[in-house]
């Protein structure tokens, strides 16, 4: 029987900043409805694929919970983690219900530590901000301003504030002087909601740029709720910094990082951070394109703004050591300064360390490999569906958003961890063909499905579509989006009200109201360990 850790024990470890991975193994949908502050989402459906990358040390102390729909997924997750070689796996005693009963705070949404931190920063640093109406008026009167969008470029390209330039969060201090060389120019930072606007604006304040700085209050959500039009398809990007501006940015970033308690280390000395019971994450905070062109061996890509925005996803082991690298001496230092203020032990690779030992390309993430599964070729499956449609059922284990956009005609959507429920909905067939966008996930799902079919005592088999959905499309076979068949509810993903277009206004306003309440929640919870820099 798997041992358990109590609410008090987990809370004590968090307060002491000892290493622990508190994992919610439900799908993202139910996870977003309520979880402890430092609980990271690692769905049972993808556990074998993602565990080694996200929890790199097999001796990490792990606490699991996962009650959903009358089923507790945590014991099965514990068994799978043990099979993967993890040696200190525990259940959260009493699960989420016991956490709540003991007075533990539950937080809605995703990436909560980072979003709550942004609110904490604004509350304590009094980060300046302007309303959507105020910024619109400045744009209309052609005032001396620049609007910098701190989101990922693809988010910016989807929708943006008129005149805005794409400058992802970690790039702001690096590039702002090229865009606003006159200290009288007002700099306005926006994101979709609040967090990246606030962290971005405060980054510029902390770095001491002479310009007046403000966050766009409530980002593109606030802009939309004010009845103002967004641009779509913008392509403006910031230029590279000149030598003088780069030198100034490097000096400012290092000063901020030093003040925050960031530690500096040479690349050749990184091995000294390794120790039994210690997790070390290594992140290259440059853009993915720069990372793919070459990077330090052993480093993963995590562009700095998104690393600060989604820290729980990149580093689910609270109390771990984080090591950041760049090639300019600015982006890693600024990102590290924020992570240190969030309570992490952070190191930056010294800028003097060359990157001549770079490894080009994106390394394949470590993960378990499934047992070989019998495959069926796309052409063969197409023929079977035509000749004997009732004898074959196709099950698509892609994420639900991808399935809704395009799937094999007649295919059923199902979440891997809920295949037993799916079988009760899908008409009986002789062959079940599992497909998806991730062939390894489809292989694991087919193995699970075959075990379920074997218990029914019928002549049924589970196959994998060779090459998955990509191979089906490459073969020129038809796809469908008009008739969606959901064998399980599409709870694998939480629809973010700040992402893309078309979110209901009520959802956007509810999201803002939730963010406004995060400071009070942090104070009730007490495990955040945030310590922000004050002027």
462 phi and psi, to 5 degrees? -110, 125
Q: What is the 3-state secondary structure (H, E, C) of 520-533?
A: HHHHHHCCCCCCCC
* CATH fold of the domain at 4-109: Oxidized Rhodanese; domain 1 (3.40.250)
Distance CA 404, CA 409 (A): 11
The C-alpha R_g of the chain, in whole angstroms, comes to 24
Distance CA 535, CA 481 (A): 54
The pLDDT value recorded for residue 370 is 65
Q: What count of Cα atoms within 13 Å lies in the side-chain half-sphere of residue 367?
A: 17
Cross-strand pairs, 188 = 147, 214
Tokens of 217: 């209050």
Give how far Cα 490 sits from Cα of 347, 404, 409, 483, Å: 40, 10, 18, 15
Same fold, 4-109 and 117-239: yes
Distance CA 372, CA 355 (A): 39
The pLDDT value recorded for residue 535 is 72
Q: Are 322 and 312 in contact, with CB atoms under 8 Å apart?
A: no
CATH 3.40.250.10, applies to 375-486: yes
The pLDDT value recorded for residue 99 is 98
CATH of domain 117-239: 3.40.250.10
Distance CA 60, CA 39 (A): 15
CATH of domain 250-349: 3.40.250.10
Tokens of 90: 């525990």
Write out the H or E segment, with its range, that includes residue 412: strand 412-413
Give how far Cα 393 sits from Cα of 354, 372, 379, 422, 492, Å: 54, 20, 15, 12, 21
Distance CA 508, CA 495 (A): 11
Q: Are 508 and 132 in contact, with CB atoms under 8 Å apart?
A: no
Domain ranges, ordered by start, for the chain: 4-109, 117-239, 250-349, 375-486
Q: Quick one: CA torsion of 452, 454, 460, 464, rounded to 10 degrees?
A: 60
Question: Going residue by residue through the chain (535 aa), what tens digit of pLDDT does each one get?
Answer: 789 999 999 999 999 999 999 999 999 999 999 999 999 999 999 999 999 999 999 999 999 999 988 899 999 999 999 999 999 999 999 999 999 999 999 999 999 999 999 999 999 999 999 999 999 999 999 999 999 999 999 999 999 999 999 999 999 999 999 999 999 999 999 999 999 999 999 999 999 999 999 999 999 999 999 999 999 999 999 999 999 999 999 999 999 999 999 999 999 999 999 999 899 999 999 999 999 999 999 999 999 999 999 999 999 999 999 999 999 999 999 999 999 999 999 999 997 555 655 677 666 656 666 667 899 999 999 999 999 988 999 999 999 999 999 999 999 999 999 999 999 999 999 999 999 999 999 999 999 999 999 999 888 999 999 999 999 999 999 999 988 899 999 999 999 998 877 889 999 999 999 999 999 999 999 999 999 999 7
The pLDDT value recorded for residue 367 is 64
Cross-strand pairs, 145 = 186
Give how far Cα 486 sits from Cα of 45, 87, 420, Å: 16, 37, 14
* Farthest-apart Cα atoms in the chain, separation: 77
Give how far Cα 349 sits from Cα of 253, 254, 272, 310, Å: 14, 12, 13, 21
Q: Where are the alpha helices (DSSP H) in 280-415?
A: 288-293, 304-309, 311-314, 331-341, 378-387, 400-405
Q: How far is CA 123 from the centre of its chain?
A: 25
Distance CA 78, CA 146 (A): 51
For 298, residues 6+ apart whose C-beta sits below 8 A from its C-beta are: 282
């Amino acid at each position: 029987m798997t041992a358990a850790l109590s609410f008090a024990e987990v809370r004590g470890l968090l307060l002491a900043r000892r290493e622990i991975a508190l994992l919610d193994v439900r799908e993202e949908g139910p996870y977003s409805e309520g979880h402890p502050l430092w609980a990271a989402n690692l769905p049972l459906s993808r556990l074998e694929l993602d565990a080694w990358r996200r929890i790199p040390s097999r001796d990490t102390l792990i606490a699991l919970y996962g009650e959903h729909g009358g089923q507790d997924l945590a014991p099965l997750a514990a068994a799978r983690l043990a099979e993967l070689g993890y040696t200190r796996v525990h259940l959260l005693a009493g699960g989420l219900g016991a956490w709540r009963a003991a007075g533990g705070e539950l937080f809605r949404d995703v990436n909560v530590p980072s979003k709550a931190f942004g609110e904490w920063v604004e509350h304590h640093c009094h980060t300046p901000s302007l309303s959507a109406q105020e910024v619109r008026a400045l744009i209309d009167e052609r005032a001396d301003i620049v609007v910098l969008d701190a989101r990922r470029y693809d988010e910016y390209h989807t929708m943006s504030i008129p005149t805005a330039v794409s400058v992802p969060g970690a790039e702001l201090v690096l590039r702002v002087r090229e865009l606003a060389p006159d200290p009288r120019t007002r700099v306005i930072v926006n994101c979709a909601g609040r967090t990246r606007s606030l962290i971005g604006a405060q980054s510029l304040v902390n770095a001491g740029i002479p310009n007046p700085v403000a966050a766009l209050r409530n980002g593109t959500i606030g802009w939309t709720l004010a009845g103002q039009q967004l641009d779509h398809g913008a392509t403006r990007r910031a230029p590279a910094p000149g030598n003088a501006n780069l030198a100034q940015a490097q000096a400012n970033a290092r000063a901020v990082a030093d003040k925050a308690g960031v530690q500096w280390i040479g690349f050749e000395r990184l091995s000294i951070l390794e120790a039994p019971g210690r997790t070390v994450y290594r992140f290259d905070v440059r853009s993915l394109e720069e990372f793919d062109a070459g990077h330090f061996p052993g480093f993963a890509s995590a562009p700095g703004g998104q690393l600060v925005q989604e820290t729980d996803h990149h580093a689910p082991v609270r109390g771990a050591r984080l090591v950041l690298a760049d090639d300019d001496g600015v982006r890693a230092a600024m990102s590290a300064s924020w992570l240190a203020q969030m309570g992490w032990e952070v190191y930056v690779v010294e800028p003097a360390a060359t990157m001549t030992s770079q490894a080009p390309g994106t390394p394949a993430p470590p993960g378990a490999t499934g047992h070989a599964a019998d495959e069926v070729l796309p052409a063969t499956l197409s023929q079977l569906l035509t000749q004997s449609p009732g004898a074959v059922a196709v099950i698509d284990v892609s994420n639900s958003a991808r399935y809704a956009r395009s799937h094999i005609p007649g295919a059923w959507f199902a979440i891997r961890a809920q295949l037993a429920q799916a079988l009760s909905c899908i008409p009986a067939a002789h062959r079940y063909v599992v497909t998806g966008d991730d062939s390894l996930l489809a292989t694991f799902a087919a193995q699970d499905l075959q075990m379920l079919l074997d218990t029914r005592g019928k002549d049924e088999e589970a196959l994998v579509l060779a090459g998955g959905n990509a191979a089906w499309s490459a073969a020129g076979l038809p796809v469908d989006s008009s008739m969606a068949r959901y064998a399980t509810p599409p709870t694998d993903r939480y629809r973010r009200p700040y992402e893309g277009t078309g979110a209901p206004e009520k959802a956007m306003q509810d999201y803002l109201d939730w963010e406004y309440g995060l400071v009070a929640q942090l104070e009730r919870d007490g495990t955040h360990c945030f310590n922000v820099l004050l002027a």
